[in-house]
Amino acid sequence: MSNFVEVGQVGKTFNLANGGSYIALKDIDLNIRKGEFISLIGHSGCGKSTLLNIIAGLDGATDGIVLVDDTPVTKPGPDRMVVFQNYSLLPWLTVRENIAMAVNKVLQGLPKAEREDIVEHHIDMVGLRAAADKKPGQLSGGMKQRVSIARAFAIKPKVLLLDEPFGALDALTRGGLQERLMQICEENQVTAVMVTHDIDEALLLSDRIIMLTNGPESKIGQILEVDIPRPRKRLEVVEHPSYYSLRSEMIYFLNQQKRVKKIRAQKTTVVARHGLEKVNIQLGFVPLTACAPLAIAKEKGFFTKYGLDEVSLVRESSWRGIVDGISGGYVDAAQMPSGMPAWLTLGGNNDEPLPVVTALTMARNGNAITLKEELYQQNIRTLDDFHQFIVNTPEKRHNFGMVHPSSMHNLLLRYWLAAGGIDPDNDVKLMTIPPAQMVVDLKAGTIDGYCVGEPWNYRAASEGKGFTIASDLGIWNGHPGKVLGVREDWANMYPNTHIALVKALLEACKYCADPKNVNEIRQLLSQKEYLGMKVDYITLADPNNDSGIHDPHKEYAHPQFFGNGLNRPSRTEQLWIITQMARWGITPFPRNWVEILERVCRMGAFSTAARELGLDVDYSRNAIELFDGVKFNAEDPIGYLNQLKIKRPISVAEIILDRRRG
């Protein structure tokens, strides 16, 4: 279907009284199909109504162009009818007269009898026959809005524009009008654009939801396709499988924009001190046992020791928050899954390559695959057992949770399933779920299992809700789990600060690996600013620590924080990660993979930091070989991919990166 409304590179700048200017909208690109219902959503001040007014012709764009049916919009016109929240009715005219005034003005070429028929038809269409001769002062708010809608439809506009049309109405009236509007739009194939703050209203009415970022320079942050079939009924929409995931996506976006606004307000100018280019750092993390080095570096003063006087730890509920923080520049550095720097660099986030580097592996291992307790009771103990269970239950949908496409949780889970003859995309369904949500979903029965870091495997076992069918000790012992990630341009701009950050966290990793510090670290991590849970659920790799669970299938995963070569970034390991992401169609395999590896792994920064701490930097790791005995050939990654039986079609592409490397 061709585009009916085209918004091309639209920007809007307002001149201020003090001689300055305010950029409300920037580079808005949006194409709307004929008969499509679009909602614009975002926080107050994000430019929703400004964009609607530009489409209506009530305001002009500073940059760009708007086309309706291939005609440029330069002024208001009857082909674009606006329904406002305040009704905009003439108080001295009746319902019939308010509608007739618009019809007689726009459709004056039609015979009088035909115009009268149009008016009467639209009075009936919105159910106002009994109030046709009443004036606005005699009508309720819902009835006034129905008059406004009838007037808009009566002149047969090409595009219906609605600016929070039901915002001032009570819930019952609003619900009835929403369903009536939806019915009218579907019957008449109306193209509609609506501004709303109501996420449930947007989900009920829309084909697509356009979410705008905060101003100034507001842009389209995300577009949601609403795959709920039409015709829609309110209760049926709520019961649709996509409803809550779409709703959660919108809530996440709006909450993230609120957090971004708060972070922007707190953002201070760069503070240089102690020979460092920047000492004030926002450092992101996700509440997992593996965040221990960040907590220790903060609480034990290691950041301050190396000149980083103003380090703020930013707690995110999911890895997506880390992606948004790094890509938006709201955090300086972050704890990341080991595959995230390469994933961002290869364009995994919205197909936009963002060079990100790592100079430190902060933790290895610490992940496990947990299945629900019901399967344990059915004597499923091995991968072969689970494969047979999948074969014997083809009618069931088996859902699994993982935390991010780039994470080792996803890649290890996929590798484990495929090694057992289970296609992770066709035989089961993998879902991205925040770590803290895993046990909740396991209890609710919405997933059969997950792969995640601690403490969520141990917690499921402790509460009798799940069991560990495989840990990384049995899949790939010593795999990279969590790394320090920063944008490449940030590392180039603040090289001394970057090395100081690596030094502080490397010393913290060493502290975390000392068995005598285990109880102190567990107590620290239990605090609300870190994991916020009972200390009993937090386990560390202390050989003397008795977890209280002696069934090997219910043990915890064992994070490793420090050791011979453990913290050194590995280009070979990053190459394995890149091949696995290509194997499953997450990102293409880069034809220029040598360049990608050199840029992702900042070996020089690690080596400098380690030497200044007096640590040995000369180390070579063994060849990568996972539990199935398949060796990884780093000299021929494409040949390695070709020999794997279960995979997606492999895409190979040249990844063009910004060459400004400082």
Tell me the DSSP string of 131-160: GTT--GGGS-HHHHHHHHHHHHHHT--SEE
Q: What is the DSSP track for 432-459?
A: E--GGGHHHHHHHTS-SEEEEETTHHHH
- Assign residue 538 the CATH number of its domain: 3.40.190.10
Which CATH number do you get for residue 174?
A: 3.40.50.300
- In 3D space, the residue among 260, 307, 245 whose CA is nearest the CA of residue 43 turns out to be 260
pLDDT of residue 658: 73
Q: Which amino acid is at 10?
A: V
> Looking at the structure, do residues 99 and 229 belong to the same domain, yes or no?
no
Q: Are residues 152 and 296 in the same domain?
A: no
Angle at 659 between CA 658 and CA 662, to 5 degrees: 110
Tell me, yes or no, whether 395 lies in a domain: no
Asked if residue 247 and residue 142 are part of one domain, the reply reads no
Residue 410 counted as domain residue:
no
Cα angle 272, 568, 321; round to 5: 60
Domain assignment present for 434: no
The verdict on residue 383 lying in a domain is no
Number of helical (H) and strand (E) elements in the chain, helices listed first: 25, 22
Same domain for 164 and 271, yes or no, is no
Q: Which two tokens stand for residue 458?
A: 């141990």
Residue 555: inside a domain: no
Q: What is the DSSP string of 253-291?
A: HHHHHHHHHHHHHH------BTTBS--EEEEEE-SSGGG
Could you say which DSSP state residue 357 is in?
A: E
Residues 290, 143 share a domain: no
184 shares its domain with 292? no
The verdict on 244 and 321 lying in the same domain is: no
φ, ψ at 20 (rounded to 5°): -85, -170
Please give the tally of structural domains in the chain.
3
- Asked whether residue 50 is assigned to any structural domain, the reply reads yes
Say whether both 484 and 536 belong to one domain.
Answer: yes
Block means of pLDDT (10 residues each) for the chain, length 662 residues?
A: 85 90 93 93 91 92 92 88 77 90 85 89 84 89 81 82 77 75 80 91 92 90 89 85 83 84 72 90 92 96 96 90 90 96 95 95 93 93 94 89 93 96 94 86 90 88 90 89 97 97 97 93 93 85 46 67 92 97 96 96 95 85 89 94 95 81 40
Please report whether residue 277 resides in a domain.
Answer: yes
- 287 and 175 in a single domain? The answer is no
Question: Is 372 in contact with 516 (CB distance < 8 Å)?
Answer: no
Do 250 and 271 share a domain, yes or no? no
What is the model's pTM? 0.76
At 183 the three-state DSSP class reads helix
Q: How far apart are CA 437 and CA 442, in angstroms?
A: 9
Cβ atoms of 601 and 574 closer than 8 Å: yes
Residue 243 CA neighbour count, 13 Å, CB half: 15
Q: Which of 219, 243, 259 is the last residue of a domain?
A: 259
Q: How far apart are CA 539 and CA 458, in angstroms?
A: 8
Half-sphere exposure of 460 (CA within 13 A, CB side): 39
Q: Is the dihedral of CA 460, 465, 467, 472 positive or negative?
A: negative
Cβ neighbours around 87 below 10 Å, total: 20
- Among 224, 259, 294, the domain-final residue is 259
Q: 342 and 480 in contact (C-beta within 8 Å)?
A: no
**165 near 83, Cβ under 8 Å?**
yes
Residues 193 and 61 placed together within one structural domain of the fold: yes
What is the per-residue pLDDT for 394? 85
Q: Residue 545 has what pLDDT?
A: 45
What DSSP element (H or E) covers 481? strand 480-487
Q: Which two tokens stand for residue 283?
A: 């450092």
Three-class DSSP labels, 528-587:
CCCCCCCHHHCCCCCCCCCCCCCCHHHCCCCCECCCCCCCCCCHHHHHHHHHHHHHCCCC
d(CA 464, CA 458): 10
Is 374 among the domain residues? no
Query: Which one of 259, 279, 312 terminates a domain?
Result: 259
pLDDT for 550 equals: 44
Q: How many angstroms separate the CA atoms of 175 and 179, rounded?
A: 6
Task: Please check whether residues 238 and 129 belong to one and the same domain.
Answer: no
Which structural domain, as residue segments, surrounds residue 240? 3-79+158-259
